[in-house]
Amino acid sequence: MSGGLIVFVCTGNVCRSPMAEYLLRAYPGLDAGWDVCSAGLAATFGVPASHEAVDVMREKEIDISLHSSRPFGAELVKAASIVVVMTRDHMNMMELFYPDAVHKVRLIKSFDPQARGEDLRDPIGMSHDVYRGIRNEIERALPGLVASLENGVG
């Protein structure tokens, strides 16, 4: 598969999913045919990324300061080639609210062979070190995600 829409989903769309979105956009192995966005299952429109997320992404020379949250909904489900969630709870919510799209949903850490499909915890309200760790966990999943996209997963 050489293109489509990848949607990263977390709870509020201010920490994990925007970091994942921008890290994947900057990933050198991603085919140019892929569009990437993020949303939150409990998000509202227009909330900026957390200061900690902005700071730890800036360490990678990636600017997410203009990120603006948005809720995940039916239009993104329909448009998405793959929906990448952060936790099993997110996965369960997808199964409940979007049962016809379950085949599109993947847990982010399932792409990291060392993570064994664990949850990517929510860093909201935590220290920069915790955010840095979450960013690094996302980065470890990207090679597997990109390889899966190249092999037609999604």
Q: Active-site residue numbers?
A: 10, 16, 122
CA angle 61, 30, 99 (to 5 degrees): 110
Using CA atoms, how far apart are residues 90 and 134, in angstroms rounded to an integer?
Answer: 17
Tokens 């020379």 correspond to what residue? 61
DSSP 95-114: HHH-GGGGGGEEEGGGG-TT
Using CA atoms, how far apart are residues 67 and 69, in angstroms rounded to an integer?
Answer: 7
Yes or no: say if 29 and 2 are a contact pair by the CB < 8 Å rule. no
